A and B are shown apart, each in its own frame.
Chain A
Amino acid sequence: MQRTRRFRRATRLVGLLTAGALLAACGAGGRPDDGEGKTTPDVGITDDTIKIGGHFPLTGVAAPGYSEIPSGHKAYYDYVNANGGVNGRKIEYVVKDDAYNPTNTSTVTNELVLKEEIFGMVAGLGTPTHTAVVDFLNAEKVPDLMVSSGSLMWGDDPSKRPWTFGWQPDYMIEGKIIGQWVKDNMPDAKVGLFLQDDDFGRDGEAGARKYIDGQIVETVRYTPGNTDVAPQLAKLQAADVDLVLGFNVPSYTALSQLTAMKINFKPKWFYSNVGSDPALVGSLLARFSEGKVKSSAALLDGVLTTEYIPGVDATDSEWLKLWQKVWDAHGAEGELTNYRIYGMSQAYTFVQALQAAGDDPSREGVVDALEKVGATLEGPGLAPFRYSEESHLGISGMEVVRLKDGKGESLTPVLVTDIGDAPITEDDSAAKDVPPANGIPDVKPAS
């Protein structure tokens, strides 16, 4: 017994030693002295394809509306691909669901960058969600184009995030434009702010306060996820507010409208562009009220908001005709909506960026090209982009509209400005852009 045990112990010891030695032998030891300079070809692009990706809430609370954006992208890329692609390359758009949860965004971005090996991130949606991955994308030197959010983070400091570009007007210039309009047209109104408690509400408030600081009598904030906004609206009511200025997402437009009906609060409403899609808000109102309110785009009649691209209501716009043609030929199930148009408009800009980067686009080439010619790109946007070496912020302006039967009636010319103290000026030049006859941009290489 004693002997066998000792024998066993010895066997085990020998086994361990062998395993250890084997492991050490497997290892590489030191690094090779010669650090060969690697020039890796850019990932995600071949002679006939280019693969890009995006993260969107396809499931969960933020999915209504937003989940339609990628279908717009896909329809437009399919249209371009069917017409020969960009310089012979077909665009493949890989869409991943993050359910508007930053933890998931991080996971799916890992998947897009490390496994799908995308050339670039295009139109990743959401401020909290995209915040989770913006540093990773910049560290990996992945172009991060046309983020679907108006936070200032996507372009106010290109030295910090050189690979990231915004697309839509940021919330601060929207706040400024709204503020100036209110000051000029409703100088006696007592204004109450209804804000989402994040960059969205903060930037919008900062912009608006530049013009109507004295008119604002009450400010309330809501946290996304908490569906009871009665305390906030009661506070606005108590302050005797004439005009509620909302920087909120569509579901909170519906909630604030419903709650106001309940407490018999009848101010004028001005919602930022994000929260004012009449069709979506109408259907949300019907759903939240469990059928007590009939779904109709007319529910938001008289509400003020802003527009920066022609939407489904702009029936005589050449852009809408193009989007309708693309959607009829390549769209998925469902109607053309403002969210799909938003996606197609972004897709149009991406195709322009790719063309500007030349016959053989590299990741760096796309970024350089956008900085060089981005401000001159003609597209559906009512105002030009601000892209340059100093700024990666997107569309520079918008017009104020009043909703009627789901349509926006223009109240101002296109108003253009920039963050900070830049003045607001009228600039209709970009609003006159029309799409080329074949619907595909033709941008000359930037260099």
Chain B
Amino acid sequence: MPTTTETAEKAHAAEPRGGLRRRWGNSVLPRHLTLAALGLLAVTVVLETTGSFANSQLASMAYLGIAAGGLTVLTGLNGQLSLGHGAFMAVGAYTTALFLDGDNPLPLPGVLAAATLVTLLVGAAVGVAAARLHGPYIAGATLALAVAVPGVVLHFDRLGGEQGLGVRMPETPAWVLDAAYFVTGSELNPTKYVAYIGWAALVVTYVLLANLMRGRVGRTWRAVRDDEVAAEIAGVHLGRARVLAFVVSTACAGLAGAVMAMAVRITAPSGFSLTLSLTLLSAVVLGGLGSLTGALIGSALLTFLPHLVTGVGVDAGLTDVRAAELAPAVYGLTMIVVILVAPAGITGTVRNLWRRRRGAA
């Protein structure tokens, strides 16, 4: 997939830069950390000024964002199309549910890490197999996974079968409540707590991903995506690069699944149907392939659009059933329009427009 991003990057590199720009551009980590800090600040402000329901929506956006971020790295940067990320989210979610079950569960960061790690291991196993495959065959293999995992779950009684496992959120630690009150002046309810966890996880993930993408690893991934032969001649180990991209991406999906389990309060096979995997992919495509901002925008659309559309439908006097049917229809139409009008996705198109304008000036 030699894309516009590639040429754009070259153009970018050729541009003369000012002193500050260069320093800003070269020191990736401080820049990402500053952005992360600003992001966290913005999240705090938004979560504190919106109601409980908006908080719960933002928690959903966070887990979709984490998974979409991981997927955009895999598909956009490394060119592997995964249709099975919902299955990896399921692995993360079930791990979380199991770890939170019992009287003395691990502290939450431990649970999140465990879910990520378990999914990472599963991802590594699948990734090794997937690295031998190309293009549509990877899609096929991961598709099989997306179909199989919810079915496999049913065979283990410990996993609750069709009804799934309830996820018990542990009590919010007292020091967190105190600290939250100290800073914001309002009590931290469980919904908001989960939203904070989700967004903290998202920010950490995005900083790590952004660094990977900007560094040597990211360049290797792009090289493998754009021209395998050239990459191999340049000394890149194709399989290793592919597996690494796959593993990183599935670890994100695992973390997303963990946050999802906490936000949804249940993990059931029907929550991880093929639709979830396809939804993630559509979020990535809508937002703009290969861009973390795009993944975030895509997950925002996914979270807020259906709800918005149904609301408009009900206000317009449609029956509940019609209004409910409106949401998938509008989402589908949006998808079609974006692909027709803005094939590079929302961020890609905005970026291109911006470049063209600067080029013209």
Query: Which residues of A are in contact with B by a Cβ distance under 8 Å?
Result: 1, 8, 23, 27-31, 58-59, 63, 67, 70-71, 95-97, 100-103, 106-107, 110-111, 114-115, 127-128, 131-133, 135-136, 196-199, 223-226, 332-333
Contacts and interface: CB of A to CB of B under 8 A. Distances in A.
Interface stretch (B102-110, B159-167, B335-343): B159-167
Interface stretch (B281-289, B291-299, B317-325, B345-353): B317-325
Contacts of B264: 102-103, 106-107, 132
Interface stretch (B7-15, B48-56, B76-84): B48-56
A91 to B, nearest CB: 15
Given A29-B182, A114-B56, A131 B270 contact: no
B334 interface: no
14 contacts: A59-B325, A59-B328, A63-B321, A67-B321, A97-B327, A102-B268, A110-B53, A115-B51, A128-B163, A131-B163, A135-B166, A198-B162, A225-B270, A333-B319
Nearest to A67: B321
Nearest to A70: B320
Given A102-B164, A106-B264, 12 more contacts: A1-B19, A27-B182, A28-B183, A28-B186, A71-B319, A101-B270, A107-B264, A114-B52, A131-B268, A135-B265, A223-B162, A333-B319
Given A27-B184, A107-B60, A131-B166, A58 B324 contact: yes
B266 A106 contact: yes
Contact of B161 (A8, A27, A97, A197): A197
Contact of B271 (A29, A103, A196, A198): A103
B260 interface: yes
Interface string B52-86: 11101100100000000000000000000000000
B151 interface: yes
A327 to B, nearest CB: 15
A167 to B, nearest CB: 19
A97 B270 contact: no
B220 interface: no
Interface in B204-222: none
A216 B320 CA distance: 44
Contacts of A58: 320-321, 324-325
Contacts of B325: 58-59
Given A103-B271, A199-B163, A30 B182 contact: yes
A413 to B, nearest CB: 34
A426 to B, nearest CB: 34
Contacts of B260: 103
Interface in B159-199: 161-164, 166, 168, 181-186, 191
B307 interface: yes
A61 to B, nearest CB: 10
Given A27-B183, A29-B182, A102-B271, A127 B320 contact: no
A226 B155 CA distance: 14
B166 A197 contact: no
A132 B167 CA distance: 9
Contact of A223 (B41, B151, B310): B151
Interface extent on B, as a size class? 35 or more
Sorted nearest first, the 7 A-B pairs with minimum C-beta distance are A28-B185, A97-B324, A115-B53, A132-B266, A114-B52, A103-B271, A114-B53
A59 B328 CA distance: 9
Given A29-B182, A135-B265, A128 B270 contact: yes
B12 to A, nearest CB: 24
B271 A111 contact: no
B137 to A, nearest CB: 25
A101 B306 CA distance: 15
Contacts of B273: 101, 225
A315 B103 CA distance: 55
Nearest to A111: B53
Contacts of A107: 56-57, 60, 264
A124 to B, nearest CB: 14
* Interface SS, B side: helix
B23 to A, nearest CB: 9
Contacts of A63: 321
B320 A95 contact: yes
A30 B185 CA distance: 8
A132 B268 contact: yes
Contacts of B271: 101-103
User: Most chain-B Cβ atoms within 10 A of its Cβ — which of A71, A102, A133?
Assistant: A102
Contacts of B305: none
B53 A198 contact: no
Given A197-B162, A223-B151, A100 B270 contact: yes
A224 B154 CA distance: 11
A27 B185 contact: yes
Contacts of A97: 310, 320-321, 324, 327
Nearest to A151: B163
B276 to A, nearest CB: 8
Given A111-B307, A114-B52, A128 B162 contact: yes
Contact of B164 (A23, A131, A223, A333): A131
A331 B328 CA distance: 26
Contacts of A27: 182-185
Nearest to B272: A103
Contacts of A59: 321, 324-325, 328
A28 B184 contact: yes
Contacts of A226: 151
A226 to B, nearest CB: 8
A69 to B, nearest CB: 11
B52 to A, nearest CB: 4
B162 A332 contact: no
B321 A110 contact: no
Contacts of A103: 260, 264, 266, 268, 270-271
A73 B51 CA distance: 29
Nearest to B60: A107
A205 B327 CA distance: 39
Contacts of B321: 58-59, 63, 67, 71, 97
B190 to A, nearest CB: 8
B51 A114 contact: yes
A223 B162 CA distance: 7
Nearest to B162: A198
A385 B99 CA distance: 39
A106 B63 CA distance: 14
A106 B154 contact: no
A301 B266 CA distance: 40
Nearest to A19: B41
A250 to B, nearest CB: 17
Contacts of B191: 110, 114
User: Most chain-B Cβ atoms within 10 A of its Cβ — which of A23, A71, A107?
Assistant: A107
Given A23-B183, A27-B185, A102 B310 contact: no
B181 to A, nearest CB: 6
A305 to B, nearest CB: 23
Contacts of A127: 163
Contacts of A8: 20
